Chains A and B, each alone.
Chain A
Amino acid sequence: MSDVLFIEGGRVIDPAGGVDGVRTVVIRDGKVAEVAERVERPRDARVLDARNRWVTPGFVDLHVHLREPGQEYKETVATGARAAVAGGFTAVCAMPNTKPVNDCAAVTELVLARAAAAGLARVYPVGAISKGSGGEELAEYGELKASGCVALSDDGRPVMSSALMRRALEYARAFGLPLTVHEEDLHLVGKGVMHEGAAATRLGLKGIPSQAEDVMVLRDIALVELTGGRLHVAHVSTAGAVRAIREAKRRGLPVTGEVTPHHLALTDDDVAASGYSTDFKMNPPLRSADDVRACREGLADGTLDAIATDHAPHSAVEKDVEFDAAANGIVGLETAFSVCLGLVREGALTERRLVEALTAGPARVFGLPAGTLARGAAADVAVLDAAAEWTLDPARLQSKGRNTPWKGRRLAGRCTHTIVGGRIVHEEGKADR
């Protein structure tokens, strides 16, 4: 069989290449050979009929938790990669808060080996900012970079020490690694478990003010000015953080930001309406309607560069408990496109901007070779049925995690095919090697 694949008749949306129209995508030897209106097809070429579908670069997720090593009962690199391709993601960045923390080559290499064995999505490890993510000593960035890390993060925890953060930004410059940071002032967070506001007051739960995030974003932007390091703000959730990043960009500072689908779609009132459902407990917490509006505006105008899922699988052991005691986080890889397409239908986002924020935007932030259908690029492609309607049955998720606030909800649009390096790795709800 020829190693040529024709994806025909679909609406190709490739913001990186400025393409939006019906095209044929020709894939040869695992790379994009051509994207054109009319292409002569060899008789023995494989054909993927994409009529009435969107054909986009494979999605890139800057922020996932694959839980391996250490918590394989929640997720493994393989199950996480299967969930990724089921959601249209062909590249995911794996956060280092595993057990042990990814602060050395051994862990990075293990993650990469597991990803290679799975042969599904590309997995890019993120190394720790500090040893053990303990916030006290710098990790060895040279070794992390050499073994395959694309960024640094103590995600799950903020870098509370301003002095350490300064040194991390300075030191990372030598290796060209961006810092992707979890921003919260733990003193302001206290014992808070959800956004501080009327909903928390009604539920009698301790609140976390938006300013817990704002003050740290402002601090780190100041430290970028001091050091010249590259700062990427993970899971932005507040109007104040959006404002601060917009201002930093206006001043030409190397600051970027990402936002999750749930922070774009849900508010703290949804926590109250859920009756203490721990599927609505995440960190940062679901914020106020004003914060959500600001995040949507920030994504639409480019202040926020990327949509990232913060895919955080947990088992019932962590979630089927009191809200105060429950672990933070939800799974997101398989619902991201649908939830964000909902925003397009609400008029909060254009189709092109949605695709850009899932593809070229994140690829640029970490400098990944992804997010484009340019000739010669790796043939990582998502084929999407934007007209589909489906009901989320958690039992049908590819992830081991079932923790999602969209259980039983009707969702719009889904990924029908995912192609990585020219190979179809996901087709109509089935993951395949």
Chain B
Amino acid sequence: MIGRHKHCIALEDFSREEILEVIDLAVSMKEVLQRPIKKVPSLRGKMVVNLFFEASTRTRSSFETAAKILSADALNWTSSSSSVTKGETLVDTAKNLEAMRPDVLVIRHSAGGAPRLVAEHVGCSVVSAGDGAHEHPSQGLLDCFTLREKLGTLEGKTVAIVGDVSHSRVARSDLHAFPKLGAKVRLCGPPTMMPAGVERLGATVHTDLREAVDGADAVIMLRIQHERIGDPLIPGTREYSKVWGLNAKKAADWLKPSCVILHPGPINRGVELSPEVADGPRSVILDQVQNGVAVRMAILYLLAGGAGEEARA
């Protein structure tokens, strides 16, 4: 359990204390990750199924690594080899996997709400690894962890999230989590990439990048998804990179010295970030990747009952 939750589906549902419970535990998990022998028996005998309906190397590998470090057995199931192509429904697929008695189902799906639908039909814990443009809770938690690690606290801090907010599940999870930890959120991007009514979620909305990053403690640059350029949201990446991309000059002139830069990856170099910025001293992008494993270890540990098992041992 994470607080009162059997599942980890949306940070909108999580309280400040529940978010802190995960990231506090992630601190210890990160220490395990840095040992020469990266293996603890916490989830021995437990099974984690990664159920990925969308291609994802990064997130799936991160969950798989997290499970293996905790000694859980991890099974990767992808839709290309699935019954979905034979017409099976999501609920049927989930019930079939459930019959194999996993302890945790990690699900990524292109439809918002898919993990919630699965959770209604299975008995094990469900973790969302991203659903449509809804939420990506483990990414939101790793962003919280990384920001707390780099800034000390999120209390009173300002975070700017820049890019295609309308399609970003990362932005939504961040948007629910950061204010609960005391941070203010500014959103910035072309108006065509800003979802309707987003200010009702508690953020300010900007179209001017300089205004959005002015005085910010952290800037999260979202990935421009080339596959979406077919939608007439922007004329192309050329103008986008000039207006909303961050290069070394803008970073030097517009960001305050202590400001850190995050990106959920993979980066389009030269579009949202120039290489000098992506690899520069402000960038904490690789810390995010490592912290992602630690946060996912914490999530799996809390949901798969590791604490209870160890207490009984």
Contacts and interface: CB of A to CB of B under 8 A. Distances in A.
Interface of B: 12, 89-91, 109-114, 116-117, 131-135, 166, 169, 172, 195-198, 200-201, 231
A203 B196 CA distance: 12
B90 A322 contact: yes
A205 B134 contact: yes
Contact of A201 (B111, B114, B117, B196): B196
A346 B109 CA distance: 41
Given A207-B195, A320-B89, A322-B113, 18 more contacts: A198-B197, A198-B198, A200-B195, A201-B197, A201-B201, A203-B113, A204-B172, A205-B112, A205-B132, A205-B134, A209-B196, A275-B116, A321-B89, A321-B90, A321-B117, A322-B109, A322-B117, A324-B112
Contacts of A196: 196
Interface in A162-191: 190
Contact of B112 (A203, A209, A321): A203
A197 B196 contact: yes
B90 A203 contact: no
B264 to A, nearest CB: 15
A197 B197 CA distance: 5
Contacts of B111: 322-325
Nearest to B120: A275
A320 B113 contact: no
A325 B10 CA distance: 20
Nearest to A206: B133
Contact of B12 (A198, A202, A325): A202
A309 to B, nearest CB: 26
Contacts of B198: 198, 201
A276 B117 contact: yes
A202 B196 contact: no
Give the size range of A's interface with the partner.
20 to 34
B172 A275 contact: no
22 contacts: A197-B197, A198-B197, A198-B198, A201-B166, A201-B201, A203-B112, A204-B112, A204-B131, A205-B133, A209-B196, A275-B113, A276-B113, A276-B116, A276-B117, A321-B89, A321-B91, A322-B90, A322-B111, A322-B114, A322-B117, A323-B112, A324-B132
A200 B132 CA distance: 12
B132 A204 contact: yes
Contact of A207 (B91, B116, B131, B196): B196
B177 to A, nearest CB: 14
Contacts of B201: 198, 201-202
Contacts of B195: 200-201, 207
Interface of A: 190, 196-207, 209, 275-276, 320-325
Grouping DSSP codes into helix (H, G, I), strand (E, B) and loop, the B interface class, with mixed when no group exceeds half, is mixed
A134 B176 CA distance: 44
A375 to B, nearest CB: 54
A391 to B, nearest CB: 21
Contacts of B90: 321-322
Contact of A276 (B89, B112, B166): B112
A320 B169 CA distance: 23
A320 B91 contact: yes
A251 to B, nearest CB: 32
A204 B135 contact: yes
B300 to A, nearest CB: 24
Nearest to B114: A322
Nearest to B135: A204
Contacts of B12: 202
Contact of A204 (B89, B134, B197): B134
A86 to B, nearest CB: 29
A202 B113 contact: no
Contact of B172 (A199, A202, A206, A321): A202
A395 B76 CA distance: 39
Contacts of A201: 166, 172, 195-198, 200-201
5 nearest CB pairs, A to B: A198-B197, A204-B134, A276-B113, A322-B111, A204-B133
A203 B231 CA distance: 20
Nearest to B110: A324
Q: Which of B114, B117, B172 has the most CB of A within 10 A?
A: B117
B89 to A, nearest CB: 6
Contacts of A206: 133
A26 B201 CA distance: 60
B196 A200 contact: yes
Contacts of B91: 320-321
A204 B196 contact: no
Contacts of A207: 195-196
Contact of B113 (A190, A199, A323): A323
B114 A203 contact: no
B116 A204 contact: no
Contacts of A203: 112-113, 134
Q: Which of B89, B114, B135, B195 has the most CB of A within 10 A?
A: B195
Contacts of B132: 204-205, 324
A199 to B, nearest CB: 8
A198 B196 contact: yes
A196 B131 CA distance: 18
Contacts of A197: 196-197
Contacts of A198: 196-198, 200-201
A275 B169 CA distance: 16
Contacts of B117: 276, 321-323
Contacts of B131: 204
Nearest to A321: B89
A272 to B, nearest CB: 10
A422 to B, nearest CB: 47
Nearest to A324: B111
A322 B131 CA distance: 11
A374 to B, nearest CB: 49
Q: Which of B12, B112, B132, B231 has the most CB of A within 10 A?
A: B112
Contacts of B169: 204
Contacts of B172: 201-202, 204
A323 B116 CA distance: 11
A275 B200 CA distance: 18
Contacts of B200: 198, 201
Nearest to B165: A201
Nearest to B13: A275
A196 B192 CA distance: 13
